[in-house]
Structure 1
């Protein structure tokens, strides 16, 4: 039986007392009675220069202590909310913890992870040599977007404590400082930089609710911190300022337009990396390789299709799909018909939202919702690839097995 430690100081002072689970290349089977622990983000307060939070709700503080102690005293992983999606966190400094992440998700080991820190102080103290600072190219961008949904690439220096399993043996590592109070408090209270991909089974849509995590990973982790719905709804933007011109490796919660504006002259010529890496090509950030964000049902993405009525009818006819026999879900966004029914036999319809921000927030939750209602086919309307739309379309195009372009109809 575990005895949770009630702590008001960084957990790095606690000795490691529990035996780590042995590593196997096979995904782990159910081995935990997964507990969902409630936490209130509004009870967690970080002052501007605070390294540890003030927590006004006892249940929240107790549950954060339980999860933090688990991260320090074992090599197990825990799930927690961030402003983007729920993360599956383990120490980014211990190989066994990183192995536990890969096993719980059944994630390919050459798909690198992002390290999450609670402060720039922790980043410098835990991950960088004493005489090394964050490259100046990131200075203005970090002042604007940290804490927040932005990840940067940093060099791996000689003697780096970052597990090679985090980086997939590459010479850079990805790091971000989340703004969600629960995530930041957990990392600060454990004083442990956390490797934390999205807390879903590999290839599935990312989780934006604790219930999504439980659905995918029940029995594969001891604790899920339930802090409510994630605000942004898609993962962080990943940028590489170590190359010229700088690159956006993955679009996400911070738009390209905002990167250029905040970054100034050094970022005015920023370029987008290609969406998907080749099978044998190493990648420096998650989301560039393998199938991602996909529900069980087949997803078809529609772009440039105006109100969508003609495009949907033509698609169903061309593919010889009988909407009376096939359960179809329609996810509408900005331009598709607002009529109550586009096709009288479509099983259900949902609105993704009328702005890029709303679509970003709702995307993964609605993909999961309609999938769990047992549909066979999901028809989704794309949006313009500006601002939040670039990240939305990056995810939708990877979830879809087919794209219908209205220009060709």
Structure 2
């Protein structure tokens, strides 16, 4: 089906939740009639149809459909041209909604965390709502579960989070529907951090985009698995590995980090981002990784790096090159028809700007080659390098 895709403006600052709404499920109030009207329209699409809605979260824009409806989930995969063995994250607005709808818990005496393993409790106390996704067991009595099996890719677990962005929370709360939502981009492309990015990829493929401005975090949520021993960080994201260790306490002291660069075609994965090509512009990406992270890089190393870059440009016959710099290098590195874009000087800045600048130089500047300066894989750098290695298909120069 071909849609006339509408973009509806919503103001995150006009949406107000109580301090306990993420626990008890109380609905938001609004100080902007247009925002409320547009959110109610989008909530109706989620609740009453099998169609999808694109909406902002604090991480990236998501493409949402009902987690309870097989046809909605199929429409997500169809719009993105996404393989259906790649699981989806289910977003809920509150613990009450998780218990009532996914675990079919009708008792008012149900404790908020009764269906969540204890290992997650310290993390959720500090990090929900927020960019943290946890793996939870599907109810043992499958007859009780309302969750579409298509969200799990036939896994015995499902991924779940409560987003912090008020637009996302309001959409889920007003529809009273858990929402399955991967990033709202064409499959393999860099994730969208503005409504315009979504429109570029999905215009005509979805009915509605909620425009709530630029996403603040800029990369997807952190995904952790506390159902295995030791627990694992499956995907680095909005919260750092160091955050998980610090907040999680003794139960997370031995947390491992998933280090697979790729998986086999027939291998099952527990979370998005572990399988298939991801985050890739049309132009080739060359990733520069410093061998040692120093306050300054020696002139000898710079000259050697210039030589290697010139070889790559020649081999690619690149007429137009973009250079995205971060901590150590500057635009003088590229002696070519070069567009220079600084990613930022802190991990949070680089993280927030990464996808937007990859899209800018690829879609607006139409470059032939994108050269990106990498960073140390710690703190925010772990998520940054995870995305960049996939965007570059491990096409790297170590200097």
Residues 293 and 311 of structure 1, relative CA distance in 2, 3 Å threshold: farther
* Cα drift, residue 126 of structure 1: 1.1
Supply the distance in 2 between the matched residues of 1:116 and 1:310 (Cα, whole angstroms).
Answer: 49
The equivalent residue for 2:64 is: 89
Residues 302 and 172 of structure 1, relative CA distance in 2, 3 Å threshold: same
Supply the distance in 1 between the matched residues of 2:308 and 2:328 (Cα, whole angstroms).
Answer: 18
SS at match of 2:246: helix
* Cα drift, residue 152 of structure 1: 0.2
The equivalent residue for 2:243 is: 258
Matched, 1:267 2:252: yes
Q: Any conservation in 2 of the 1:323–1:345 contact (CA below 8 Å)? A: no
Q: How far does the alpha carbon of each residue in 1:23-78 deviate from its partner, in whole angstroms, 9 at most, with x for none? A: xxxxxx6x110000000000000011232101110010000011001111210000
* Cα drift, residue 279 of structure 1: 2.1
Supply the distance in 2 between the matched residues of 1:178 and 1:327 (Cα, whole angstroms).
Answer: 39
Supply the distance in 2 between the matched residues of 1:265 and 1:227 (Cα, whole angstroms).
Answer: 38
Aligned match for 2:5, one of 10, 34, 53: 34
The equivalent residue for 2:314 is: 321
Aligned match for 1:138, one of 109, 120, 136: 120
Alignment of 1:235-314 (within 5 A): 235-275=220-260, 276-304=262-290, 306=297, 309-314=302-307
Matched, 1:211 2:196: yes
The equivalent residue for 1:333 is: 326
* Cα drift, residue 286 of structure 1: 0.2
Superposition misfits of 4+ residues, deviation over 4 angstroms = 322-325
Aligned match for 2:148, one of 163, 167, 184: 163
* Cα drift, residue 129 of structure 1: 4.7
In the alignment, structure 2 segments of 5+ residues that lack a partner are: 292-296
Residues 62 and 399 of structure 1, relative CA distance in 2, 3 Å threshold: same
Q: How far does the alpha carbon of each residue in 1:86-115 deviate from its partner, in whole angstroms, 9 at most, with x for none? A: 000000011000000000000000000000
Aligned residues: 375
Supply the distance in 1 between the matched residues of 2:318 and 2:48 (Cα, whole angstroms).
Answer: 53
Matched, 1:359 2:345: no
Q: Over aligned residue pairs, what C-alpha RMSD do you find?
A: 1.6
Supply the distance in 1 between the matched residues of 2:314 and 2:16 (Cα, whole angstroms).
Answer: 54
SS at match of 2:93: coil
Q: How far does the alpha carbon of each residue in 1:317-375 deviate from its partner, in whole angstroms, 9 at most, with x for none? A: 433618996210000001113xx533342320000010110000000000000001110
* Cα drift, residue 274 of structure 1: 2.7
Supply the distance in 2 between the matched residues of 1:346 and 1:309 (Cα, whole angstroms).
Answer: 19
